[in-house]
Structure 1
Amino acid sequence: MTRVVSLFLPTWSTDRLRRKAGDAAPPAEAPLVLIGREGSRRVVVAADVAAQAAGLRLGMPVAKALVLVPDLIIQDADPAADADALERLALWVLQRFAPIAAADLPSGIVIDSTGADHLHGGEAAMLDVLIGRLAVSGVTATGAIADTWGAAHALARYVARPTFVAPRGHGPSVLATLPLEALRLPAEMATDLRVLGFDRIGDLLAQPRAPLTLRFGPELGRRIDQALGHLAEPIEPVRPADLVEVRRAFAEPIGAAETIARYIGKLVIQLCAALEEKGLGARRLDLLCLRVDNRRQAVRVGMAVPVRDVKRLTRLLCDKIETIDPGFGIEVMTLAASIAEPFVRKQTVSALVEETAPDISDLIDTLANRVGDRAIYRVAPMPSDVPERSVCRIPAMTSDSGATWPNHWPRPSRLLPQPELIETVALLPDHPPVSFTWRGIRRRVQRADGPERVFGEWWKRDAELIAVRDYFRVEDDAGERYWIYRAGDGEDAATGSHHWFLHGVFG
């Protein structure tokens, strides 16, 4: 089933202007509007959050806006620059999230996420990451996922706070209570419909179609059918100028899995030849299949390192054939290297001189394209004495940074995700517990080593200015060894709660 993401950027024009200005941008709390012309009048065409909170609205004359907000910051609107920046944002989404993405002018992005969400932890997680990345970049956004472009567009603008994921096969129920404007109708048509007593989309759905078409033309019915999925609304994906891609059109539509696999192999050969001419290797491939009903099916595979091995790329793509629904047939297949990087050949070293490390990138590619990039990773040391901050996840094929693990004190082989509270019998301030109870089981301590004092990182937050932990390695009467700590120095209550926690288990 097709799934579509719609991103709504309500203050795109002002957000773009602030990002472009950088450090010279006005403060976020300063009301900012962009102005344009309607005939001979100068009117507000964009307003940031602060300006809207002050009561300014789009279409308001500039003179009235200045009366309401005397310290208002005014700049000229640049619709062409806004559109260009939105295209670049769509390219960023295309490269990182899904193989089909496009700008939804004037202030949105539309994405066909079918089959791509599992690579990002599911639909809700993918949407949260999208909104979060934009927020970090200074762009306000809301987003929704639905079965159609029209439904996702409506939900992103009228329901999402800041995200909303409609259930699969939701039908018209999620749209019934939304205002008429959610159907992307012209303003004049929405006004005329309200004069006739229609306020919500559900009011239109309950009426016979013929009288509405006779009165308002085919546009109204078309928008309703697009929102409900009765009429296809293909997304024309944005394509970068330097994109390396190959295309194959068929005189007769194809649909059999074996035929699709055969032509995938041919397209991969052509793409690898084009990559070789430019000295590049593919890090991500997008296969787009245009069906006879004008719908697109997309397959995306990623590689840990630049690759242009024909057999390897063909196998990765053919593993995804089962996700392609050819419908009544595929008319055009396009294969693109959406991310390509310089390809460096490795010099073969004689086994008699030096033993080379095995190349596991092929295995990593296979696993990552099945379970997602986030599920395949390595852990690497971080420069921190706080145990839970001393490790991080990095991509599986990332080269070593040179950082080393701390070796001044032993560390447990298993570190718990979060320290767990334990009940103890201990003599303060410097003695280990005589016994402790963890997960309902009481353990008597036979041996202990410590304390190892770990100080808080005061530069991260004020609460850690004087915070300390005292860690002990303890062994119980069954021979099991644990890593426990006391929050605080055992004397001053300001340094911690003096509660005990179990943080790790030694193998």
Structure 2
Amino acid sequence: MFDGLKKRVVCMWFPRLASDRALKARPVEAPFALSLHQQNTDRIYCLNQHAEGLGLHRGMSLADARAFCPTLVSQTARPDLDARFLAALRRWATRYCPWVAHDGADGLILNVTGSTHLWGDEAAMLQDMRQRAQRAAITLRLGVGDTRGAAWALAHYGSTTGALEPLPVAALRLEPTTVTALQRLGLGRIGDLAATPRAPLARRFGPEVLRRLDQALGDLPESINPAPEPPHYGVRLTFPEPIGLLGDVMGATARLLDPLCAKLHRDEAGVRRLLLTLRRVDRDSQQIELRLASAMRDPVRILPLFERGVAAVDAGFGIDVMRLEAVGVEPLPVQQITSVSQDQPDQLNDLITRIGTRIGLENIQRFLPADSHIPERSFTIAPAAFSDPDKGWVCLRPRPLRLFPPEPLTAKGAAPPKRFRWRSMSLTTGRATGPERIAPEWWLSDENWRSGLRDYWKIDTREGRRLWLFYTPQAPAWFVHGEFA
């Protein structure tokens, strides 16, 4: 593709990518750092230039950093948002060349061979990169070389352009232990390493050192492979004459759904969130957001869910453009069809979606099992649309259907009472099953369990009530904690 052209590679390194992203959203005029929980403590993940100038550094514990710099402003790091920010920078970098790849979590590699003349020359292109990054308040270091390894080394350890020989061996992208071992042998520079006989190096350090050296010097090729662009799930429909009737808009929505769902089916994906945009002839736009309880790609099931939102649209003098985009896509592989009857959750998911369009999907909740033997902690509550009840409760002893705060009984003694009063009722024990001793979870602070051990009994009364009682040996007393169905 680039026959007759000298290969040129640019390395864009963003040494403060995470802190630059956070400060763009909320600027502060103070020492700033992002922290991440590592090695059982909060440590500095990234920091701005002001904090570095005060002696703080990455990997430093946040407690030590605050003691050293009381004015430090900190936030919790978000590596997921940093990855999205780097992806946006990769799209921006395609203005310089089409061949742009990620380089770790804070860098980009550009194959600018044949593209520099579009900016006048290479120096003008690099100057444009610096100026745009400076205006965006993004710290950028550049390196240019004939190989990917050379560009990386110059960006991280040297100037933009220059020779590799004076740079430290760490510029070869070697492991820190290997770098330390080479420095102990007196091989601190790339030039020293290149002048050393290769056979002893290979025997002592393996092929990795020589491979990185050859890649940097251009004796061994190294590919630049950009990640493929994610698929875009969006369709558009333009009308020769404006429409406004409910039936016409729903018919157009059906025409948009068919190709969109066909593309989702081809990619074995399903949509969880759809955005329908309707542009009127007066250039005003209205949007209808549809959030689904489960990933789906069946246009027949999706279309009726739009009816309520479409009915509320003000068409004005008519709608001339409609656009449908799947903004929340999940994998939905094809499943084998068998003759065995299986439960189909589609009707339940459609019902959750219909109710969720009125009150919000987050307000439709379900109980899920939790890993705890404490009755109050044996379950969690989660939105039904964003959770899957794959597993049921694993319980060696039966648990009551109704659970309420412990209510005291008028009973004495460690044995289950033969007669007791509860909620103004006089009850007689018919059968008592137990005890089941439950100990507090010492690693959690729960005011209700500070009394210590509990001995639980299942009591079947002659009056028909089936209760769950417990006795506290430390402070002798009886309580009712639940009722069986």
**TM-score of the two chains, using structure 1 as the length reference:** 0.48
- Which position in structure 2 is the counterpart of 1:437? 422
Give distance in 1, aligned partners of 2:369 and 2:273.
Answer: 28
Give distance in 1, aligned partners of 2:347 and 2:438.
Answer: 41
Residues 13-92 of structure 1 aligned to structure 2 (within 5 Å): 18=34, 23=38
Residues 105-504 of structure 1 aligned to structure 2 (within 5 Å): 242-292=231-281, 294-350=283-339, 355-371=340-356, 372-374=360-362, 376=364, 378-393=366-381, 395=384, 401-402=390-391, 404-407=393-396, 409-412=397-400, 414-416=401-403, 418-422=404-408, 424-432=409-417, 434-438=419-423, 441-449=424-432, 450-461=434-445, 467-486=452-471, 488-489=472-473, 492-493=474-475, 500-504=478-482
Letter in 2 for 1:288: T
Residues 336 and 483 from structure 1, CA distance in 2 versus in 1: closer, same or farther, beyond 3 angstroms?
Answer: same
Identity of aligned residues (%): 27
Which structure 1 residue ranges, 5 or more long, are not aligned?
A: 1-7, 37-49, 55-68, 76-81, 90-239
Residues 253-295 of structure 1 deviation map (CA, whole Å, 9 limit, x = unaligned):
3322111101110010121123234332222222122344554
CA contact (8 A) 1:312 1:362 kept: no
Aligned residues: 299
Letter in 2 for 1:311: V
Question: By how many angstroms is 1:369 displaced?
Answer: 3.3
Give distance in 2, aligned partners of 1:420 and 1:295.
Answer: 59
Question: By how many angstroms is 1:338 displaced?
Answer: 1.2
Give distance in 2, aligned partners of 1:406 and 1:480.
Answer: 22
Residues 402 and 74 from structure 1, CA distance in 2 versus in 1: closer, same or farther, beyond 3 angstroms?
Answer: closer
CA contact (8 A) 1:421 1:499 kept: no
Give distance in 1, aligned partners of 2:478 and 2:232.
Answer: 57
RMSD (CA atoms):
4.6
Give distance in 1, aligned partners of 2:381 and 2:270.
Answer: 25
Question: By how many angstroms is 1:378 displaced?
Answer: 4.8
Letter in 1 for 2:398: P
Give distance in 2, aligned partners of 1:366 and 1:331.
Answer: 32
Residues 9 and 447 from structure 1, CA distance in 2 versus in 1: closer, same or farther, beyond 3 angstroms?
Answer: farther
Residues 88-107 of structure 1 aligned to structure 2 (within 5 Å): none
SS at match of 1:18: strand
Give distance in 2, aligned partners of 1:11 and 1:428.
Answer: 66
Residues 192-220 of structure 1 deviation map (CA, whole Å, 9 limit, x = unaligned):
xxxxxxxxxxxxxxxxxxxxxxxxxxxxx
Residues 436-487 of structure 1 deviation map (CA, whole Å, 9 limit, x = unaligned):
232xx3232332523322111112237657722232323445312222334x
CA contact (8 A) 1:14 1:34 kept: no
Question: By how many angstroms is 1:305 displaced?
Answer: 4.0
Question: By how many angstroms is 1:506 displaced?
Answer: 1.6
Question: By how many angstroms is 1:335 displaced?
Answer: 1.0
CA contact (8 A) 1:425 1:434 kept: no
CA contact (8 A) 2:33 2:48 kept: no
Structure with bigger gyration radius: 2
Residues 260 and 461 from structure 1, CA distance in 2 versus in 1: closer, same or farther, beyond 3 angstroms?
Answer: same
SS at match of 1:364: helix
**TM-score of the two chains, using structure 2 as the length reference:** 0.50
SS at match of 2:311: helix
Between stretches 279-288 and 264-273, larger displacement belongs to 279-288
Residues 431 and 370 from structure 1, CA distance in 2 versus in 1: closer, same or farther, beyond 3 angstroms?
Answer: closer
Give distance in 2, aligned partners of 1:381 and 1:310.
Answer: 34
